[in-house]
Amino acid sequence: MPVSKTDNDQILLYKKTNDLSVIGELYSRYTSLVYGVCLKYLKDRDEAKDSTMQLFEKLIDTLKSHEVENFKSWLYVSARNHCLMQIRSKKGKFKEEIDALNVENQFILHPQEGNELEENLDRLEECIKRLIDEQQKCVRLFYLNEKCYKEITIITGFDLNQVKSFIQNGKRNLKICMEENG
């Protein structure tokens, strides 16, 4: 079987053959990118490694049903969203083991970074709710549900230029809202 060179060729070949080695080869091009994104958000090497593998396993099914135009960008967004969902699901769970000696001798403070991230996610959700309906639909589908432009046009009934415009304007409005409420 000839080796495909572009990401899109690899995706098409995988959809045609369901050959895991094809998707493995494609994913191996970006494993370090995915690991880096996971490490950046999760701040734990083991969790980042686990997430990198989970994303590969998820990719096996996801690529069959999604139209992906720019694999690298799509994979980056998928990795980021995966990590943010993991962080959100851990809300309120304190993982660190507490050493008895530390408790007796030091104040143990809650990590502010996790709280700050959660506050940012809550602010982002509030800002999304403030967008006009069309922008809100398109932004949610594109960024949170990882749908491509073509899928969004089918789901919403908007034409391609409207979808692009709603996403671009929605993103700009979100940025303004986040800055005003930060």
Residue of 5 and 58 predicted with greater confidence: 58
Three state DSSP letters for the chain? CCCCCCHHHHHHHHHHHCCHHHHHHHHHCCHHHHHHHHHHHHCCHHHHHHHHHHHHHHHHHHHHHCCCCCHHHHHHHHHHHHHHHHHHHCCCCCCCCCCHHHHHHCCCCCCHHHHHHHHHHHHHHHHHHHCCHHHHHHHHHHHHCCCCHHHHHHHHCCCHHHHHHHHHHHHHHHHHHHHHCC
> Looking at residue 144, what is its pLDDT?
77
pTM, rounded to two decimals? 0.50
Kindly indicate the confidence band of residue 117, based on its pLDDT and cuts at 50, 70 and 90. Answer: low
Round the average pLDDT of the chain to a whole number and report it. 81
pLDDT in tens, 6-54: 988 888 888 899 888 888 888 888 989 899 989 888 888 989 899 999 9
Residue of 178 and 133 predicted with greater confidence: 133
pLDDT in tens, 154-180: 999 999 999 999 989 988 998 888 888
Lowest mean pLDDT among 14-23, 34-43, 74-83, 89-98: 89-98
Determine the average pLDDT of the residues in 68-82. Answer: 88
pLDDT in tens, 137-149: 998 888 777 788 8
